[in-house]
Amino acid sequence: MVVYKISPVARQDLVDIYVRGIREWGESKAEEYQVKLISRFHMLAENPDMGLSVSIRPQLQRYELNPYVIFYRKFSYGVRIARVLYKNRAMDKHL
C-alpha cells in the first residue's frame, strides 16, 4: 500500500490555505478545498508520475490544483508532500 506523508512546512501551507479560504469564501468552501487537496495527495501517492518535473529542484514533481501547486517527491513508500504554494508565488524562494 502506498501512502503520502506531509512535510511540516506543507502542513503549515494547508493551515494557511484553510484560513485564507475561510476569510475569502467561508468555512464550507474552505473545507471543500481541503478535501480536494487531500484527495490529490492520495492520487499522487498512487500515481507519482502524474506530476511535471521542477527545473529548479530536479528531485521534485509538481501538480497543479488551481490556484495552488502541490510540490512532492517520490519515494518507495509513495510520496512526500513538500509544499502547497499559490501558483503566482515566487517558487524559487519557497522551495
pLDDT grade, residue 95 (50/70/90)?
low
pLDDT, tens only, 10-53: 999 999 999 999 999 999 999 999 999 999 999 999 999 999 99
- Buried b / exposed e over 14-45, threshold 16 CB at 10 Å, is beebbeebeeeeeeeebeebeeebeebbeebb
The pLDDT value recorded for residue 92 is 56
Q: Is the pTM here over 0.95, yes or no?
A: no
Per residue in 55-75, pLDDT (tens digit) is 888 899 999 999 999 999 999
From residue 23, give the alpha-carbon distance in Å to each of 12, 14, 41.
Answer: 17, 14, 24
CA distance 68 to 62: 10
